[in-house]
A and B are shown apart, each in its own frame.
Chain A
Amino acid sequence: MPGKLKVKIVAGRHLPVMDRASDLTDAFVEVKFGNTTFKTDVYLKSLNPQWNSEWFKFEVDDEDLQDEPLQITVLDHDTYSANDAIGKVYIDIDPLLYSEAATVISGWFPIYDTIHGIRGEINVVVKVDLFNDLNRFRQSSCGVKFFCTTSIPKCYRAVIIHGFVEELVVNEDPEYQWIDRIRTPRASNEARQRLISLMSGELQRKIGLKVLEMRGNAVVGYLQCFDLEGESGLVVRAIGTACTLDKLSSPAAFLPACNSPSKEMKEIPFNEDPNPNTHSSGPSTPLKNQTYSFSPSKSYSRQSSSSDTDLSLTPKTGMGSGSAGKEGGPFKALLRQQTQSALEQRGGSPHRFCRRREFPFFTLTAFPPGFLVHVGGVVSARSVKLLDRIHNPAFVGIMGNTRSYKLLDWNSFNSDEPETRDAWWAEIRQEIKSHAKALGCHAVVGYSESTSICEEVCILSASGTAAVLNPRFLQDGTMEGCLEQRLEENLPAGCGFCHIPYDELNMPFPAHLTYCCNCRKQKVPDVLFTTIDLPTDAIVIGKGCLIQARLCRLKKKAQAEANATAISNLLPFMEYEVHTQLMNKLKLKGMNALFGLRIQITVGENMLMGLASATGVYLAALPTPGGIQIAGKTPNDGSYEQHISHMQKKINDTIAKNKELYEINPPEIAEEIIGSPIPEPRQRSRLLRSQSESSDEVMELDLSHGKKDAFVLEIDDTDAMEDVHSLLTDVPPPSGFYSCNTEIMPGINNWTSEIQMFTSVRVIRLSSLNLTNQALNKNFNDLCENLLKSLYFKLRSMIPCCLCHVNFTVSLPEDELIQVTVTAVAITFDKNQALQTTKPHVEKSLQRASTDNEELLQFPLELCSDSLPSHPFPPAKEHLESASSNSGIPAAQRATSVDYSSFADRCSSWIELIKLKAQTIRRGSIKTTVTVEKASPMGEGNFRNRSAPPCANSTVGVVKMTPLSFIPGAKITKYLGIINMFFIRETTSLREEGGVSGFLHAFIAEVFAMVRAHVAALGGNAVVSYIMKQCVFMENPNKNQAQCLINVSGDAVIFVRESELEVVSAQQPTANCQPLCTGGEVTT
C-alpha cells in the first residue's frame, strides 16, 4: 500500500442547464479511482455549484497509481429517474509520482462529454502521498521520468544514454465488442477512453520497469501510438530512449558513467570492420520487410505476409546470432550485456525470451555535442501484415502478464497478441539494424515507428538514421582510446558528422564521394539524407526550406493476401518515386542535405499515398549540388527540342531563384579558384550522412554540360513531363515566410517570442470517375500546396516568421476521401538579427580556411580525377544485392502462395535499366558572390535590436503549446510530467453542429483547451514537444453522424521569460547545451 491519493472537489462553473423547468442543475460529483468511488453532496439548483468537499482518500499501490486515471464524473441529481451524466474529467496522476515534477494538481478542468463536448468546468485538487517501498520485486516504476522531447531536456544533463526501450500492450477494442450493439455511443466511447488511458498507464509503467533495469532514470523521446486495428483489437505501443539524467542545477561533475558493468569491448565499430558481406547478409535475411535503407531505388525486399506471421521468426533469430560477432561491436556488446542481465532480473515475466534482441536505436533527434560522430544515411524498413487470425494458439498460456487480466475479462483469450505484434516489430527492427550495419554504423538515431491500417492490412514502418556514436555517452569509458583520434580530427570543424562512416572501397551502395569541403580531410557523400534535426554546430550556408514529395498510386481493391501482395508490389515503386522527387526538389532548391526526413506511406481501399517531408539545407561540408538537366528522347524534332530547352531554361531559372531566395551563396571552390588563392569563404554547416542516390537516379552523362554536375531528367513520355511540371509547380512561400519540419530553421537564429501553434485538417473527396494516377497525384499535390498557401495567408500578420516542425499526416478514411492533418508552430523572428550567431562560425571557418589553403587547391583536382571513373560501377553491386535479397524471400515464404520471385525479377530487371543510365559526373560549382561582407553589417544590426521588447502577452493563465522542445525567448525551468491524452467525440446531429468542419473545429479547440487546463493544473505554463499523434475522423452524413478520435501528447513545463537584458532569445537553445558541451570536452 505504498500510496495515498487525495482528491478534493471544490466547485463547478458554467454547468449546462439540466433541468429545463428551472433552468438550473442539481449537480454532484463521483470520484473514482480503481474500484473505489466517492460522492459529493448534491448542490441544488445552481450552474455554479460550490461543493467544497472533504478530502477523498484512496489507498492504493503505486502500480495502480501508474496505470489508473483518476475519473471524475459530474452528474445531475434526479429524484425520480436515473441521474444524468453531465460529463467527465480524467486526470493522469503520473506527474505526481516523481519528486521533481508537480506536487499538486489543482485547477479548473473542462468537464467533457463524448457526445456534447465541453460542458462547464470543475475545480479539483489532487495530491499523492507516496510511501517508500523497498520491495525489489515491485511492478511499478514510479520515479522514472518521461519526456516526449526528442533531445535531452533543457534543464537536464545526460549522464548516460542507455538506449532503446519499447513495449506494447494489446486489448480488444470496446467499440467492436458485442455489447456495443446494445449500449449507448456514450458508454462505448467512455469505455474506450478509459481503456486506452489504462493501457497507456500500464505501458508507461512497463517501460519504466525496463528503464530501471537498465539503471536509467528517465525516458527521452517517448513516443506512444495507438493502432486501431478494428475487429482484431487495439494496440498501444511505445518506444523511447532510456537515459540517466542529472538535473543541471546539481553540481555533480560530468563523469563518463562507469556504473554499468560492461566489459569486453575491444572491437572498434567503425573502422574497416564491416566486411562487404556483412551488409549483403543484412538485406538477404528472410524478413518480410521492405528495405531501402540506402538509396531507395535499390534494395527492396519486401513482402506481404500471410496470416501466419511467425514464419520468419525462426530464421531471423538464427541469422541474428550468426552475425552477432561482427555486427555489434562494442556498442552492441554493451547493450547486450546489459540487457541480458536485465532479462535475468526480469525472470518474473516468462513471455520474454531471449529472442528479443537489443537494438542500438535512439529516438532522439538532437544530441549533446560530441555524441554524434558520423551519420550514415537514412535506413528504413516496411512490412505489410494481415491483421486477421492473429490469435496463435501456440502462445496461449505463455503469456504470464497478470496485469493484463486486470484490464478486462476478455483479455485472456487474446493474450497472445502482444507476442505477435512484438515479433512483427522485432523483425523490422532487426532489418533496420542490419541496414545500419551495412552502412558501417553501429547505431540508429532519430528512430521512429509507425503503422498504416486499412481494413485488415497493416503496413508497419520504421525509419531512422544510421550513425556512429561516441560511446562516452552510452556507457563506460573503455572505448575512449579508440575514439579519440577520430573525434579530435572531426570535432573542431563541425563537419565530422558528414564524413562517411563506411569504408570507401567497400561502399554499401554507390555513392559519389568527395573530400569534405570544410576540413578537406575526410570523404563526404554528395548528398545526405537524415531523419534527425540539424546538429546545432552544423555549418550551413543560407537558409533551409521544407521539401515534400507527394505521390499517389491506385491499387485494385482486393481481399486479404491478394491485397497485401498488391501493396507489397507497389511499395518499392513508391519508395523509388518518392526519393526521386525528393532528390529533384532538393536539387531544384540548390541544396545538398535533408534533415528530419519522414516518409509516410498510407494505405487505403483503392490507393496508396506517399508523403515525404524534410528540411533541405546546404551543408558547407558537402559539395555543391549540380543542376538538373532535361533530355528529350526524340532529338530530331525541332519544336520538341525547343520545348525541352524552354523547360530547361525554366528549371535553371528556378534553381537560380531559389539560391537567391534561400541565400545559398557557397564559396566557389574547385577548379574555378585554381590559380587564384582566394581564401576559402566562410562556411558554416554540418551534416549527416547522405544517401547519395545521385548516381543511381535517372541520370545521364551529359558531356556537353561540362563540369556541371548534371542531374538528368529524361522526358520520354507524358508521365515524365508531368513530373517535371510538378517540380515546377511548388510555389515558394511568400516573402517573409520560411518553413521547415525540423525544430528550428537552419539559418535563422534570432527568434522573437511570439509563437502560434496550430492544427489544420483538410479532407477532399475525389471524383470517383476515371481516376488515374496522374489526376490523383495532381489532386494530392494541390491539396498539400493549397493547405500550405492557406497557412501562409492565415499567419501573414506574423511576418517575418517561420513555420517550424511542420508535420503532415495523411490518411485515407474512405474510398474517395483524402485527409491531411498538419500541425506546426509559427515563430516570429527578427530579420535584422539573422546572422548573429552564425558570425562566429564564419570567422572560425575563415581562419581555418586560410590555413587550409594549400590543401584546398589540390584536393579538388584529385577528387576530380578519381571520383569520376570509380562511380559508374558501384551501383551494380548494390542492385545485385538487393535483387538477391529479393529473391531470397520466396524461400522463407513457402507457406504463402504469393509469388515473390516474379516480383524480384521484375525488380532486378528494372534496376538494370537504371544501372545502365546511372552515371556520376563531377559536380561543378555554382558561381555565387562571397557572402562574408554581408555578414558584418547584419551582425551589427543585432545589437540594435537586441533590446527589442519581447512580446508583451504574458497574461495570467495563458498556456503556450509548441511542437518544439523549447520556447523562444524563454527558459524552461521545470518539467512537470508528460501529457498524454486520448479523446473521442461523437455526434448524432452533425448538421446542427455546423457540419463536419464545425464538428471537428470545435473538437480540436476542445482538445487544446483540455491540454491547456491539465498543464495549468500542474502549475505549468506551456507544453513543449506537443504532438497530435492521431486524428481519426469518420463521418456518415446520411445518418447525420460523425466520430473523431484524437490522441495528443507533450511535456508540461514551466518557463520563465528571459529578461530583455539577458541573452537574446535566439541563443537560448545553444546556451542551454553549454554545460554539456564543456563537460564533453573535458573528457575528450
Chain B
Amino acid sequence: MTSELDIFVGNTTLIDEDVYRLWLDGYSVSDAVALRVRSGILEQTGATAAVLQSDTMDHYRTFHMLERLLHAPPKLLHQLIFQIPPSRQALLIERYYAFDEAFVREVLGKKLSKGTKKDLDDISTKTGITLKSCRRQFDNFKRVFKVVEEMRGSLVDNIQQHFLLSDRLARDYAAIVFFANNRFETGKKKLQYLSFGDFAFCAELMIQNWTLGAIGEAPTDPDSQVDDMDVDLDKEFLQDLKELKVLVADKDLLDLHKSLVCTALRGKLSVFSEMEANFKNLSRGLVNVAAKLTHNKDVRDLFVDLVEKFVEPCRSDHWPLNDVRLFLNQYSASVHSLDGFRHPTLWDRYMGTLRGCLLRLYHD
C-alpha cells in the first residue's frame, strides 16, 4: 500500500509556524520530519511518523504555492486562492523576508549578481545555513533591490509599500540595498567584529544625511526624479568634502583645532594624554576619509578606513566609549570656532553622521 496522493485543503489555509520555519530554513521534507520528531511532537500529540510526514508534505506544498505570491507581497493580500487571516499574512511575509545575521554579513555590500549567487555554496558551507535558505535570502535581497533601486522617495517607505514589511525589517532592507548599491566593503578581516546591526545603523545615518533625498529638496520638481533618491550618495556633497582637507592641510588650523579640543576636554578624559598625542593622526584620518570619498573605490573602503584610522588607534589606547563620545563631540563642535574655516555646514553634515557611525563602530 503506497500513498499516491495525499492532500488537505482548508477553507482557511492552515499555517504551521514551526513547519514554516523549517521550510524557510531550507530543510527537505525528510529532514523536517526528523527534526519535528526530535522536538517531541509525537509524544505530545500521540501522532505517528506517517502522520507527521503527510502533514509536513502538505505544509511544504502550501508554502511552495504561496512562495510565488510572497515574491510580491501585495499579491498575497489581494489574491483569492488562499484565505489567510491578515495577521497570518503578515507573519508569512515577515518570516519569508527575515534573514540570518550570518548570511547577511557575508553578502552585505556585495553586488547582488549572478556571480555572488555562485558563491552561495561557499557561504552555505561556511555559515551552516542550507543552500536553499541562502538562495531564498539572496533572492529576497536582490528582488527588493531591483524593485526599489530606481525609485524616488524614501527608501524605507518604498520597501514597506512594495513588500509590506514591518518597520524594522524594512529598515534592515534599506541598509542592505544601500550597502549593495554603494558596494561598501564589509568582509575584510578587521571588519569581522562588526555586526549587521552596526552597519545598518550607519547605513541609516548615511541615508538620512548623505544622500540626495537627505537635503530635503522639494520633490515637487519633476526633473528631480533622479536626484531624489535614497540609494545613491549625494555626489556633489562628496565632491565638496574635499574642501574639508584644509582642516589638516593648514597647519595653523590643525593646531588651533587641537588646542580648542584639548582645552575643552582637559580633565574630562581618562585618556587625555593619549588623545593629545594622537589628535593629529586621528584628525588627519577622519578628514582624509572625507576627502577621498570622491572615488568610488574609496567609498567602498569607507568602513575599512574608519576602523583603521580611528577605531583601531583608539582601541589600542583603550579609550573608554564615553571618552570617544566626548572627544568626537568636542572635535566636531570646535570646528565652528575656527575662524578660517568656511564650511561649517558641510562639516556638520559630514561629521554629524560620521560621529554617530564611529560611536556605533567603536566596540570590541
Q: Does A1051 contact B (CB under 8 A)?
A: no
Kindly state the interface size class of chain B when it binds its partner.
35 or more
Q: Does A1 contact B (CB under 8 A)?
A: no
Given contacts A108-B80, A761-B7, contact A955 B51 (CB under 8 A): no
Name which residue of chain A comes closest to B3, CB basis.
A764
Name which residue of chain A comes closest to B41, CB basis.
A793
Interface of chain B residues 24 through 82 with chain A (CB within 8 A): 45-48, 50-52, 54-55, 57-58, 61-62, 64-65, 75, 78-82
Stretch at the interface among B9-17, B145-153, B162-170, B338-346: B9-17
Q: How far is the CB of A578 from chain B (nearest CB, A)?
A: 22
Question: Are A1033 and B5 within 8 A (Cβ)?
Answer: yes
Given contacts A758-B11, A790-B51, A997-B57, contact A763 B80 (CB under 8 A): no
A-chain residues with CB within 8 Å of residue B85 when the two chains form the complex = 953, 955, 958
Q: Does B6 contact A (CB under 8 A)?
A: yes
Interface of chain B residues 67 through 122 with chain A (CB within 8 A): 75, 78-83, 85-86
Kindly state the interface size class of chain A when it binds its partner.
35 or more
Given contacts A789-B51, A1004-B9, contact A1012 B3 (CB under 8 A): no
Q: Which of A758, A997, A1009 contacts B5 (CB 8 A)?
A: A997
A-chain residues with CB within 8 Å of residue B86 when the two chains form the complex = 955
Question: Are A763 and B47 within 8 A (Cβ)?
Answer: no
Q: Which of B10, B47, B62, B80 contacts A1013 (CB 8 A)?
A: B80
A-side interface mostly: mixed
Q: How far is the CB of B50 from chain A (nearest CB, A)?
A: 6
Q: How far is the CB of B21 from chain A (nearest CB, A)?
A: 16
Given contacts A786-B51, A1012-B80, contact A766 B11 (CB under 8 A): no
Q: Does B1 contact A (CB under 8 A)?
A: yes
Q: Does B8 contact A (CB under 8 A)?
A: yes
Q: Which of A756, A960, A1000, A1008 contacts B7 (CB 8 A)?
A: A1000
Given contacts A756-B11, A779-B1, contact A1008 B61 (CB under 8 A): no
A-chain residues with CB within 8 Å of residue B75 when the two chains form the complex = 14
Question: Are B51 and A1002 within 8 A (Cβ)?
Answer: no
Q: How far is the CB of A970 from chain B (nearest CB, A)?
A: 15
Q: Which of A13, A760, A767 contacts B1 (CB 8 A)?
A: A767
Question: Are B12 and A763 within 8 A (Cβ)?
Answer: no
Name which residue of chain B comes closest to A826, CB basis.
B10
Question: Are A789 and B5 within 8 A (Cβ)?
Answer: no
Q: Which of B5, B10, B54, B78 contacts A13 (CB 8 A)?
A: B78
Question: Are B65 and A1001 within 8 A (Cβ)?
Answer: yes
Question: Are A1006 and B81 within 8 A (Cβ)?
Answer: yes
B-chain residues with CB within 8 Å of residue A762 when the two chains form the complex = 3, 5-7
Question: Are A761 and B51 within 8 A (Cβ)?
Answer: no
A-chain residues with CB within 8 Å of residue B64 when the two chains form the complex = 994, 998
Q: Which of B8, B58, B62, B80 contacts A1009 (CB 8 A)?
A: B80
Question: Are B9 and A14 within 8 A (Cβ)?
Answer: no
Question: Are A764 and B9 within 8 A (Cβ)?
Answer: no
Proximity bits, B194-227, A CB within 8 Å = 1, else 0: 0000000000000000000000000000000000
A-chain residues with CB within 8 Å of residue B192 when the two chains form the complex = none
Question: Are B6 and A1005 within 8 A (Cβ)?
Answer: no
Task: Tell me which of B2, B9, B82, B83 has the highest count of chain A C-beta atoms within 10 A of its own C-beta.
Answer: B9
Q: Which of B9, B46, B48 contacts A1005 (CB 8 A)?
A: B9
Task: Tell me which of B6, B50, B86 has the highest count of chain A C-beta atoms within 10 A of its own C-beta.
Answer: B6
A-chain residues with CB within 8 Å of residue B5 when the two chains form the complex = 761-763, 819, 996-997, 1000, 1033
> In the complex, A793→B48 CA distance in Å?
9
Task: Tell me which of A734, A763, A793, A1009 has the highest count of chain B C-beta atoms within 10 A of its own C-beta.
Answer: A793
Q: How far is the CB of B360 from chain A (nearest CB, A)?
A: 41
Q: How far is the CB of B123 from chain A (nearest CB, A)?
A: 28
Proximity bits, A758-800, B CB within 8 Å = 1, else 0: 1111111111000000000001001100100111111010000
Question: Are B45 and A734 within 8 A (Cβ)?
Answer: yes
A-chain residues with CB within 8 Å of residue B82 when the two chains form the complex = 1005, 1009
Q: Would you list 23 pairs from A and B whose C-beta atoms are within 8 A, ordered by A residue?
A: A14-B78, A14-B79, A734-B46, A757-B10, A758-B9, A758-B11, A761-B6, A761-B7, A762-B7, A765-B2, A782-B1, A783-B1, A789-B48, A793-B55, A794-B58, A953-B85, A955-B85, A958-B83, A996-B4, A996-B5, A997-B61, A1001-B62, A1009-B82
Which residues from chain B sit less than 8 Å from chain A, CB to CB?
1-14, 45-48, 50-52, 54-55, 57-58, 61-62, 64-65, 75, 78-83, 85-86
Task: Return the 4 tightest CB-CB contacts between A and B, nearest first.
Answer: A763-B5, A758-B10, A763-B4, A757-B11
